[in-house]
A and B are shown apart, each in its own frame.
Chain A
Amino acid sequence: MRKSQFNMRDWKSHPKYLTPSYKSTVLRSPTKPLIPMKQTLSEITGPVYGHDSINPLDNDLTKNGITDGREPLGERIVVSGKVLDEGGRSQPNTLIEIWQCNSAGRYIHVNDQHDAPIDPNFFGGGRCMTDENGHYKFYTIKPAAYPWGNHVNAWRPAHIHFSLFGPAYVTRLVTQSYFPGDPLLDLDPIFMSTPKSSQGLLIKEFSMDLTEEGFALGYKFDFILRGPNATPMET
């Protein structure tokens, strides 16, 4: 059997582990260089989920958290796009998981103690699979900025957390996607940890094409995962 290895993580695109302006990195970053590894079968295979793992409302956060019959408060949005690899090839049937705070900047998580209201009708978690062309779509409520303890008067820009698998264990990606024109971006040590030339890849694009008349504003966000390279793997 021969199967391709995947391109390495491009460290010109990903943040460095140690970013002292983001305080939690100081005691949690590896201090020794990563050890380069020749990929084996363990690295080029990965978990596979079927479309039957997804429930019908899993991609609609405006509906999947309703507890008292009313819709969640806030601005409804559509977030949609494609998952591609570095070669521009669509990534079909890949799992995307999301989580976010509500329209007041509060997460449902028990450890979030920010003094902003919980919305009883918004849970903030969801998931979907890309279709056969690599497309995905979520309906949600626009998340808000919220304060955090990193430095004096620190605020996270509004963001949605994303988790993707892609075709293999090494194509795993967890990231955050932000909103265009947010003045907090330049002040956020997590966003700013990203190399400048790649920061734009973390910002959604406002899209009239995705905007649904009378219902929700549309935002486009594509993902680029590591792709196979030309080196065949011998087993």
Chain B
Amino acid sequence: MLLKQTPSQTIGPFFSYGLTPKQAGYNKLSSLASSSLVTESTIGAQIRIEGTIFDGVGDIVSDAMVEIWQADSQGRYQNQPSLEGIGSSFLNFGRCDTGANDQNKFVFETVKPGQISTKTAPHINLVIFMRGLLSHVFTRIYFPDEKNSNLLDETLLTIPAYRQETLVAKKLSGESTPIYEFNIHLQGEKETVFFDA
């Protein structure tokens, strides 16, 4: 007999001084996560992920928290059981408050993740919280320049073809650091795929 899970409740509009204090300009608490996952010794191709979250009428969501969790450029997670004890120069986890910049985007400085297995394409995992979301949503970012491995990804393959593209970022050109744009649509025609992960 299992105990009942503690129910989720919305993060509400006022989380930033507690969860993303530095980004939001509060100095009473240190920040445990930032929007940059790279350090000086990080190996791999640095990239920027940026995106906007749109609600059901296309308005930009300016009070969301986006968390990312991804493998390093070699496809490893920090606390992967087989790798315990190996110091990591890459922070697999990041947080961004969409209220913390003028355009209300989420922006992450990171590296292109490696493959974690032959059955998965490189991807970044996202958890999204906001006022009006009573329980968080899970989604994933895939890469447009990984067409071959995307075709073999066991998670993408479970999604109807016409919705798969909501999970593939768009590569923006003209910068020295590659920028991948990943916009999130909470509702409507272009509604992003959310997982019961």
Contacts and interface: CB of A to CB of B under 8 A. Distances in A.
Interface of A: 1, 3, 7-10, 13-17, 19, 22-32, 34-43, 45-49, 53, 55, 58, 64-65, 84-88, 95, 97-99, 101, 107-109, 111-112, 123-127, 161, 163, 169-170, 172-176, 190-191, 193-195, 197-199, 201-202, 222-227, 235
Contacts of B136: 172, 174
B158 interface: yes
Contacts of B132: 22-29
A42 B71 contact: yes
Contact of A190 (B6, B9, B92): B9
B133 A28 contact: yes
Contact of B14 (A7, A36, A42, A99): A99
Interface of B: 2-19, 21, 26, 28-30, 32-33, 55-57, 59, 61, 63, 67, 69-71, 77-82, 92-93, 99, 116-117, 119-120, 123, 125, 127, 129-138, 140, 154-155, 158-159, 163, 186-188, 191, 193-197
B100 to A, nearest CB: 12
A118 B78 CA distance: 41
Contacts of A163: 11, 15, 18-19
A125 to B, nearest CB: 4
A226 B5 contact: yes
B9 A42 contact: no
14 contacts: A10-B4, A13-B4, A16-B134, A25-B133, A32-B163, A53-B32, A101-B14, A107-B14, A109-B13, A123-B28, A174-B9, A175-B6, A190-B134, A222-B6
Given A16-B134, A109-B14, A225 B6 contact: yes
A97 B19 contact: yes
Contacts of A126: 18, 29
A157 B38 CA distance: 41
Contacts of A201: 4, 6-7
Contacts of A223: 6
B194 A35 contact: yes
Contact of A161 (B15, B33, B93): B15
Contacts of B21: 125
B129 to A, nearest CB: 6
A124 B21 CA distance: 12
B127 A172 contact: yes
Contacts of B4: 10, 13, 86, 197-198, 201, 224
A231 B14 CA distance: 38
Contacts of B188: 31
Given A98-B18, A108-B17, A202 B7 contact: yes
B29 A174 contact: no
Given A109-B14, A125-B18, A24 B5 contact: no
A112 B131 CA distance: 14
A45 B117 CA distance: 14
Contact of B57 (A27, A38, A169, A199): A27
Nearest to A48: B79
A97 B120 CA distance: 32
B29 A123 contact: yes
A15 B134 contact: yes
Contacts of A1: 81-82
Nearest to B2: A86
Given A109-B16, A111-B13, A173 B8 contact: yes
A228 to B, nearest CB: 11
Q: Considering residues A10, A28, A190, A198, which has the most beta carbons from chain B within 10 angstroms of its beta carbon? A: A28
